[in-house]
Amino acid sequence: MCFARHFPTPLQDPISALCAVLPLIYYEIHGIIIIGKFALGREEKENIKMSGNYNSYESPFCTRYASEEMQYIFSADKKFTTWRKLWVALARAEMKLGLPVTEAQVKQLEEHINDIDYDMAEAREKEVRHDVMAHVYTYGKACPDAAGIIHLGATSCYVGDNTDVIIMRDALQVVRRKLINVMNNLAKFAKEYKDMPCMAYTHLQPAQPTTVGKRATLWLNELLMDFEELEYRIANLKLLGSKGTTGTQASFMELFEGDTDKIKKLEQMIAEEMGFDSVVPVSGQTYSRKADWQVLSVLSGIAQSCSKFSNDLRILQSFEEMEEPREKSQIGSSAMAYKRNPMRCERITSLSRYVMIDVLNPAFTSGTQWFERTLDDSANKRISVADAFLGVDAILNIMMNVTDGMVVYPEMVRRRLMAKLPFMATENIMMDAVKKGGNRQDLHERIREYSMQAAIAIKSGKDNPLCELIVNDPMFMITQEELDAVLKPENYVGRSPQQVEEFLSECINPILEANKDILGENFEMKN
């Protein structure tokens, strides 16, 4: 709990400061501290002394998961300073287009973008019950010469909606940077292990082998699809512009005396100053809430891809073929000391599930807006959009950590593959026997019988006897040496190594090369 924002300092108002502090006086006789209406025990009192906030809910995204960088993008300070930047852009454009706004007024507005008196704004909002007008008032007090031209011709959505778009743009850039670094880590991993044969799985049942590196390209390809969607969405994100109360720009028609060209120019000038190519062509009071759904759909896609990766790695860790990174003193279980739980990947799965579900919020919001706008979007929007970005930020942070330190156990990979490889080799063995004069149908039936026997033996805890059964059967006309030559895992991975090389060189490396200045980011797990 932060008291600083609500209490005046002694130097400003000693009497008020004393009155504010009096409720916090310790009553040692009873071992309690009074905070407003709440009476806390001695233990809770000590907790408050040590940290700050133990008696009200705080989002785990802020306390545990998301980066400070992403948290700031969705902070009040980012929001309200952006409001002021938009008011500056509006005033500057109106000045250049001939309205009675002076250079001195614009300069004064620019000088006071960052020194927001939040206490004044909060107090004013309590009086007028309107956040935008409270901040117009506060800005005007800081800029008395420009107070009369702030927000000229605009409606609340001019600052509210345009700021939302700017925040999403800035947040998408952070997501983009972290996604590229995850892709870079996976590309290195795929290249390193492109030749290592491993068991593949369909239906989670052993199937024709692939390579460890080829499997990594499957994870990477889904992230590539997400990256392409992300690039499109960033490139096509548009400001609301200055559309007025119901999107008709009627107020600006009054200000510019019906000069449509100037009104259109006004929007373009604002867009350019805020770093956008264009504004939405038409709108009601707000930009279409479908835009929020489109953005969150990209985030949902990233969450889907990361969840797929994390679930695969969790299974591989249970097979003891691969593991996520692990600290030397990390505890897997409070009871079972030997355990090596995939806790980071489990967190990825957990957070991804939240983000994937969260995309339904803007979908329903978009579908239930009435005519030019309703305010039932506001409460949902300010929670769901922020949470989606904070969630994906946390997911990508963990992804950077995991993909930068994945551990492969080659001996276990080969052991598990060799236990099943005889089943995979039966078609080659059968074809070789046919070349030597055998009957394909008879050979197929014999292999089927032996395979069933071998499966029962394996499930009974015995070694796979399939190779022994085949070698000892004259129908197959094969020696042990010939069989050993057949049972080379590298013979069964197809073009996996070449596919890895081609995919990296044609699809991934151009992206990494174009963004080499942002590569090398890493993330150290704190909890």
Q: Torsion angle, CA of 351/357/361/364, rounded to 10 degrees?
A: 170
Name every residue whose Cβ is closer than 8 Å to that of residue 387 and which is 6 or more positions away in sequence: 59, 61, 354, 358
Instruction: Compute how many other C-beta atoms are within 10 angstroms of the C-beta atom of residue 351.
Output: 26
497 and 456 Cβ atoms separated by less than 8 Å: no
Catalytic entry in 16, 333, 378, 505: 333
b/e sequence 82-113, b meaning 16+ C-beta within 10 Å: bbbbbbbbbbbbbbebebebeeebbebbeebb
Active-site annotation holds for 203: yes
Terminal C-alpha separation, the chain: 22
Cα gap 193→189, rounded to integer Å? 6
Q: Torsion angle, CA of 6/7/13/14, rounded to 10 degrees?
A: 170
How far is residue 391 from each of residues 62, 186, 313, 352, 418, measured CA to CA in Å?
A: 10, 21, 20, 7, 40
HEC profile of 32-53: EEEECCEEECHHHHHHHHHCCC
Count, residues in the chain: 527
Catalytic entry in 203, 329, 334, 460: 203
- The amino acid that residue 180 corresponds to is I
Catalytic residue numbers, as ranges:
203, 333
